[in-house]
Amino acid sequence: MKAIVYVTIKENVLDPQGTAVQGALHTMGFGDVGKVRIGKYLELTLDTTDRAQAEEQVKAMCEKLLANTVVEDYRFELEG
Amino acid sequence: MKFAVLVFPGSNCDIDCFKAVEAIGEQVEYVWHTTTDLSGFDAILVPGGFSYGDYLRCGAISRFAPVMNEVKKAADEGKFVLGICNGFQILTEAGLLPGALIRNNGLKFRCHQTPLEVVNSATAFTNQYSQGEVISIPIAHGEGNYYCDDETLAKLQANNQIVFRYAGDTNPNGSVGNIAGVSNERGNVVGMMPHPERAMDQLFGSEDGKRMFTSILNAWREQHGAAVNG
């Protein structure tokens, strides 16, 4: 089974990288860009076919390591 | 008094911390991150650097090193724990200190002297400074922008857990409330982005960092009723 994890900076936390990229896009003429937020994308391969167990495990991984919930949100999808 | 200087793969301020303790004439040992016993130490220094290459997030992987269980134990026992720069990041990731360190608001790696205001001189780490004193300590970080939510900030203020602020309008990284260093509620764990171990001698441009180490020694002596040598 595969887990796709998205880690993003919380809405109320400043994202200096996103702000810099937004500025660059504006300079390039993409004036319609209102906001840019940069996050992380992780692909995990899991040696299990038990969906419920995988869900529980990936959640624990996110809470403990993959995201810092003080400043980041996470969501994930299970495939296969 | 005996200090431990933790060493992770990628630590690079461990030698400076070691020398800083030597400079105040106390015992110090390097402790590798796989160590599972810190019982012989009175204070633990978590040095700066780029442990585990800052992979995933600064300090995120180091917090699971075997030695970190022992650091937690030591903190629970009331021993002194000081995290500097990457050490601060590790302690927040480990949940030993509130908040998190995110990327500097200007995106640049900032490396220069900073004036720091001693906001709380009543801690075991700052008792040799006077309240409100401005000291000169260098910073060297790309991810030192301290963040916590409003509720946590109010708690930090109410409990006097803000130890250092960047003085005046010198905030180099956009940290909440100009925070440069905080303590836990009990006051025996402190984390800070600036490097006191790099301000041990006027030759380096400042010796203001020295009093952090003598503060810890002083606090330990008071706790243990130890006689002052020399």
Q: Which of B61, B206, B176 is nearest to A14 (CA)?
A: B176
Question: Which residues in chain A are closer than 8 Å to B93, comparing Cβ atoms?
Answer: 68
Q: What is the pLDDT of residues B29-66, one digit of tens each?
A: 999 999 999 999 999 999 999 999 999 999 999 999 99
Eight-state DSSP code of residue A64: I
Model confidence at A80: pLDDT above 90: no
Question: How much is the average pLDDT of A55-67?
Answer: 97
What's the pLDDT tens digit per position in B74-90?
999 999 999 999 999 99
B105 touches chain A (CB under 8 A): yes
Distances from the Cα of B177 to the Cαs of A43, B41, B74, B118, B210, in angstroms?
Answer: 37, 34, 29, 14, 25
Q: Which of B56, B92, B107 sits opposite A16 (nearest CB)?
A: B107
Whole-number Å distance between alpha carbons of B121 and B133: 9
Architecture of domain B2-224: 3-Layer(aba) Sandwich (3.40)
Residue B225's pLDDT band (cuts 50, 70, 90): confident
B123 pLDDT above the threshold of 80? yes
Kindly list the domain boundaries of chain A, sorted by start residue.
2-79
User: Does residue B192 contact residue B46 with C-beta atoms inside 8 Å?
Assistant: no
Q: What is the mean pLDDT of residues B146-151?
A: 97
Residues of B annotated as catalytic are 85, 195, 197
Q: What residue type is assigned to position B212 of the chain?
A: M
Kindly tell me if the per-residue pLDDT of B229 is higher than 60: no
Q: Which residues does chain A have within 8 Å of residue B64's beta carbon, measured at their own beta carbons?
A: 65
What percent of chain B is predicted at pLDDT more than 90? 96
pLDDT band at B230 (very low <50, low <70, confident <90, very high): very low
Residue B176, chain A, CB below 8 Å: the answer is no
Per-residue pLDDT, B227: 60
Is it the case that residue A49 has pLDDT exceeding 80?
Answer: yes
Pick the CATH number of A2-79 from 3.30.1280.10, 3.20.20.80, 2.40.30.270, 3.30.70.1520: 3.30.1280.10
Summarize pLDDT for B187-200 with one digit per residue, the tens.
Answer: 999 999 999 999 99
Across the range B142-168, mean pLDDT stands at 97
Q: Is the pLDDT of residue A43 over 90?
A: yes
Domain boundaries, chain B: 2-224
A–B interface: beta-carbon pairs under 8 A: 38
